[in-house]
Amino acid sequence: MARRTGPTNPVLRKLINLLEKQSRENNAPVWAAIAEKLRYPRRRRIEVNLGKINKLYKEDKLIVVPGKVLGDGKLDKPVKVAAFKFSTSASKRIEEAGGKAMRIEEAMRLDPKGSNVIIVA
């Protein structure tokens, strides 16, 4: 039986540790939930299209994708999206719509308690 090792990407491991630390220090379970989703094996890693983000957008909320954002779909709202990775077309379309594409680390600095975070998976 194969032993589960978790992600081998050092950048991803560092991010997971940082998310768990932030969750403990600020009593914010949302960051621990994101860390858990980032631990998925590569074949199960989350990918979300802009069309889904557009449907789930709420005013003054930060959307966090614990995986990769892809550029398929229509985006007509200025959304703030944080993710581990962005496709080139996704980040370009987010900026064109007046939104902001950022890394998850930056989202943790903006909202340490995670009170305005929506996880899209």
pLDDT value at residue 8: 87
Phi, psi for 36 (deg, rounded to 5): -65, -40
What is the residue whose two structure tokens read 């719509």?
A: 97
**Contact indicator for 70, 51 with CB cutoff of 8 Å:** no
pLDDT tens-digit profile of 45-77?
A: 899 999 999 999 988 899 999 999 999 999 999
Each of the 121 residues of the chain gets a pLDDT tens digit; together they read 677 777 888 999 999 999 999 999 999 999 999 999 999 988 888 999 999 999 999 888 999 999 999 999 999 999 999 999 999 999 999 999 999 999 999 999 999 999 999 999 8
This prediction's pTM = 0.91
- The answer to whether the CB of 71 falls within 8 A of the CB of 93 is yes
Task: Report the C-alpha gap between 93 and 82 in whole angstroms.
Answer: 14
CATH for 10-119 (3.100.10.10, 1.10.10.10, 3.30.565.60, 3.40.640.10): 3.100.10.10
